[in-house]
Structure 1
């Protein structure tokens, strides 16, 4: 495929913050952007050249998007894969493709794909009936995680299990036709690697970062992760393997568990820009968002080198107020960057923005700056 040159039009399915930050980088490179999202004035729609206000399964709207754009991508996995297949049938290139989307949307398919790819995953068992549940309890054992095979994110659609009564109750509560039982692993760190691959097969990886979650929502990412060089290398090797096997075009977030014996298991993959890669906007020469735009347009990939030690913290809504105060205090530190997503309401636990601190000296210094900054920001 010939590169799409500046002036071309990129379509994005989904209008959240990932699409917004991708759009900024697309426009920096000289492209135009059309977003399809059902919410008028969504974060991406605020900065795109045009928004098609429609549901993701609206066939006339999808046809309109295909007519307007030279290439299409998506910013989250909850887009119906049939919509992507329709766009492909209309002759429009969609990156990552519908096959990558289907794999990432279904935990059964994802685990099977990862296992076939030769990377480590926690033991798992497909659960489609009460009989399957009983078998999973015997074969995989406790503690375990019972998850819906589709639709879960930020900890939704999953239950931690410690005994058989818990398991049977969770099975009834989740009430889902396709579940997966996973062995709950003991890990020392949660890591992730952002990997990019273009249409020519060129692959780049960003450093593995450490992620800290609070109530199943990403709270902080530290780049690079404090880990031995061989752990960094293995994490990046795993991400490259996944990108190759997936025939990825774009970027992919690969979430990992680092075990006490330094074994690395893959938790899940997300074929799109990833929350744990937000630090790259300020800490890398080419951010994950620019990398994604380069890849889908057929351009050479950019440098993933770090400019320093970086710590990203999410800014969440509290359910109280719609205006953020304290920004003037935060911006007095020239080593801080604040990114707000243009969302209209600060609902509790909603991702409203993030702060990245960049230190030339240490992760500890960057972490202190990031946490101090977030503490000064309040919703009123």
Structure 2
């Protein structure tokens, strides 16, 4: 691979020289330079692969860690060509990369996840149709694409109106109680294609992460329980009792059906709502490693990122063993502010505690609400774990809710 100083295509930005490797394949390519890409790069390099990231930001978190970065827009065919030329297998770190890019690249090199699966995940209408076809129940919903749809959807109120495309972390959503609120929300969203989901009485939220190989073999992590604030994940609980066993088994089986129905290859996360009456519905899927699975780096023999590398490079999948009760605390930019003033969070104080792992993503621009890192906590017992999590959350001024798992 040419160095950035000599290549004719200025989009290729070399972070450091690619290393020789004795891996079965040589280089992993990642579309997207965010924190998920950074953790994918770390996993690939630990396994002996060189890495190339494509991202429009030259200082992207993944680009900082990768051997090389191609600085190009996600819809730049020249960038796609450079990536395909440089890599032996390609993947994506986020679901809003153009599905056309994955389809184009797949004609030249192995790509996971498949373009058609990503395309379904990018469109809530198609996503919900897929869930239904797999026999997995959604909350009552209707597509809203016309005035007539809007009138019919009012029967589901109160509900949550969501844009069919490009919504994440609570963006592109509005809670509506009346027909007038629904009409105004649709207008505010530009009258684009949306779905209206009936608002249900929730008891808790869960997610399940599976990995499926090209041979159809599927492995899974235990379901984890999630708590969100303002539409953004705040805490993940991954230990026995966080999700009841019978419920866990049902959610894993549903997730496997969803993955098989997509003929999926890669790591897939599916989020679920558990209702107050004990029943459950599927919420959405993410065709990539997921924020709620970050704990797997420190609490499992194989992380979700290890499995994404394995599926992309066609290596064997093994059932990951969860060796320690764990909790993940999400770090937003708010932790860097106190009373409106910028501070340095008390990193030294939290790292004095055993079983505390700090992961910062290398983002230079700190903003409230922006994901800047996470903290993983492990312990021998759930009580010890929750005590430690409460202490760390207090030091960092993070929200934390202790679970009653007796």
Q: Which moved more, 1:299-308 or 1:326-335?
A: 299-308
CA gap 1:135/1:189 in 2 versus in 1, 3 angstroms: same
Q: Which moved more, 1:113-122 or 1:320-329?
A: 320-329
Mapping 1:191-340, distance limit 5 Å: 191-224=206-239, 226-318=242-334, 320=337, 324-340=344-360
Listed as ranges, the gaps of 5+ residues in structure 2 are 1-21, 398-406
Runs of 4+ in 1 over 6 A off after TM superposition: none
1:6 Cα deviation from its structure 2 partner: 4.2
Q: Report the secondary structure of 2:65's partner residue.
A: coil
Q: Report the secondary structure of 1:201's partner residue.
A: coil
CA contact (8 A) 1:309 1:366 kept: yes
1:372 Cα deviation from its structure 2 partner: 2.1
Q: Report the secondary structure of 2:61's partner residue.
A: coil
1:322 Cα deviation from its structure 2 partner: 7.1
1:366 Cα deviation from its structure 2 partner: 1.8
CA RMSD in angstroms comes to 1.8
1:76 Cα deviation from its structure 2 partner: 0.5
Q: Give me the whole-angstrom Cα distance separating, in 2, the residues matched to 1:69 and 1:87.
A: 10
Cα shift readout 1:325-378 (whole Å, capped 9, x = no counterpart): 31111111111111110101111111111011112111x432332242243348
Counterpart for residue 16 of structure 1: 34
How many residue pairs get matched? 372
CA contact (8 A) 1:125 1:182 kept: yes
Listed as ranges, the gaps of 5+ residues in structure 1 are none
1:307 Cα deviation from its structure 2 partner: 1.3
1:7 Cα deviation from its structure 2 partner: 5.1
Q: Give me the whole-angstrom Cα distance separating, in 1, the residues matched to 2:320 and 2:157.
A: 40
CA contact (8 A) 2:220 2:319 kept: no
CA contact (8 A) 1:194 1:206 kept: yes
1:84 Cα deviation from its structure 2 partner: 1.6
Counterpart for residue 110 of structure 1: 127
1:323 Cα deviation from its structure 2 partner: 6.7
User: Is residue 111 of structure 2 the alignment partner of residue 94 of structure 1?
Assistant: yes
1:227 Cα deviation from its structure 2 partner: 3.1
Instruction: Select the residue among 57, 72, 78 that pairs with 1:54.
Output: 72
Q: Give me the whole-angstrom Cα distance separating, in 2, the residues matched to 1:237 and 1:96.
A: 20
User: Is residue 51 of structure 2 the alignment partner of residue 33 of structure 1?
Assistant: yes
Counterpart for residue 146 of structure 2: 129
CA contact (8 A) 2:224 2:243 kept: no
1:111 Cα deviation from its structure 2 partner: 0.4
Cα shift readout 1:295-331 (whole Å, capped 9, x = no counterpart): 1111111332211211100011027477743111111
